[in-house]
Amino acid sequence: MTASVRAPVSPQVLAWARERSGLGVDELASRFPKLTEWERGELTPTLKQLEDFARATHTPVGFLFLSEPPEERVPIPDYRTMGDVGVRRPSPDLLDTIFACQQRQEWHRDFAQVTREDPVAFVGSLTTSVPVVEAAEQIRATLRFEPGERGHTWSDALRTLVDHAEELGVLVMVSGVVGANTHRKLDPGEFRGFSLVDRLAPLVFVNGADTKAAQIFTLTHELVHLFLGETALDDADLEAAPTNPVERWCNQVAAEVLVPLGSLRDALSPDVAVVDELESLARRFKVSTLVVLRRVHDAGRLSWDEYQTAYRDELARLLEILGERSGTGGNFFNTQPARVSKRFARAVIVSTLEGQTLHRDAFQMLGLKKLSTFEELASRLGAG
């Protein structure tokens, strides 16, 4: 029987797969009580156990038969930093998210060619030689996202920015989990977003595990990359001073798009402490208090040291709030289209109903399992 067949695997590869998953021996002990012996080379798992282990650690099963651990790399330019140094190796969650988005982008590119869609005009329309204020003005006008056009709440502002970007032809995906798997939550500490440039199917992914206000900055930052014609993986870290000139320019432009320095100077009260104005300014511009802090520093009201101290204090406060709110769900028919992009979901549904895409493939790309769910989603998106 298959269960009795032993798999010739390297103990080092098993340990690598466990560490890569972010799980400890204790966390896997209930499912794999002999894991310690496997990693020591004292025992060998069966094929069935190895398949289960691959699923538990989100590892492609073929990797487990290699003689030594592979060196995995992010398949797109990586601009993330942690204290201005390169970050650790990518998690399975990050890699699976990028691969899924690349697959969706490839499908939508083919769909756009078949349906003869026009290329997205603004992609690659700017260079880093364009002055920050001028670039920001152009982006705000293109996206129709002036301070007075953002609604009353951060959710309104995020929804407006997503909708306007998608109307221009961008696939905007906002999700805090891998695919539709709510047990695989994305970590904003690892990455906040990425952009995949393509003239027919430009794509932006935003880590939805972040606060709404933080997502607005990330989305803006990634859209700036599209204006540059640059594919990139980012952490959109406002505390750091990126050494990469492209990332530094994108940070500056995104901040100016959201909080024009001239408008901020007009709004700042000379007799009120900056920390006492954070919330009101954040509400006014529909950004996070962290973005406001950075712009206050840019306006000359805080030194770099004062800014970093205030930033870390405010970040700690926001993380505590985010932790208290974690675990909240949502209506599937609202969250899933946002996870895969409403524009993408409509295209897949139309293609499927026209017989160009198999239901099986559509279900896989949209994170669905049942025909009734597909039909309901089609109805809600006006694509049925």
Query: Per residue in 153-210, pLDDT tens?
Result: 888 999 999 999 999 999 999 999 998 888 889 988 889 999 999 999 999 999 998 8
- Is the pLDDT score of 83 beyond 60? no
pLDDT of res. 330: 64
- pTM, to two decimals: 0.88
| Spatial separation of the C-alpha atoms in residues 60 and 353, rounded to whole Å | 32
- Is the pLDDT score of 31 beyond 50? yes
159: left (phi over 0), alpha (psi -120 to 50) or beta: alpha
pLDDT of res. 139: 97
pLDDT of res. 161: 96
Compute the average pLDDT of residues 28-38. 89
**Phi/psi at 184 (5° precision):** -115, 80
| Spatial separation of the C-alpha atoms in residues 192 and 25, rounded to whole Å | 28
* Residue 267: both structure tokens together: 């709004």
pLDDT of res. 202: 98
pLDDT of res. 239: 67
**What is the DSSP secondary-structure string of 52-112?**
HHHHHTT--GGGGGSSS------SS-B---SSSS---PPPHHHHHHHHHHHHHHHHHHHHH
Using the Cα atoms of residue 175, residue 176, residue 180 and residue 184 in order, give the sign of their dihedral.
positive
In tens, the pLDDT along 266-316 reads 888 877 777 778 889 998 998 888 899 999 988 888 898 888 888 888 888
Compute the average pLDDT of residues 89-108. 93
CA–CA–CA angle 137, 138, 140 (5° rounding): 65
- Is the pLDDT score of 2 beyond 70? no
- Is the pLDDT score of 1 beyond 50? no
Neighbours of 261 (CB within 10 A): 17
In tens, the pLDDT along 204-243 reads 999 998 888 889 999 999 999 999 999 999 876 666 667 7
Banded model confidence at residue 84, pLDDT cuts 50, 70, 90:
very low
- Is the pLDDT score of 3 beyond 60? no
Domains, in order of start, for the chain: 2-65 (1.10.260.40), 92-259 (no CATH), 334-380 (no CATH)
pLDDT of res. 322: 62
In tens, the pLDDT along 328-347 reads 456 777 788 899 999 999 99
Percent above pLDDT 70 for the chain? 92
- Is the pLDDT score of 87 beyond 70? no
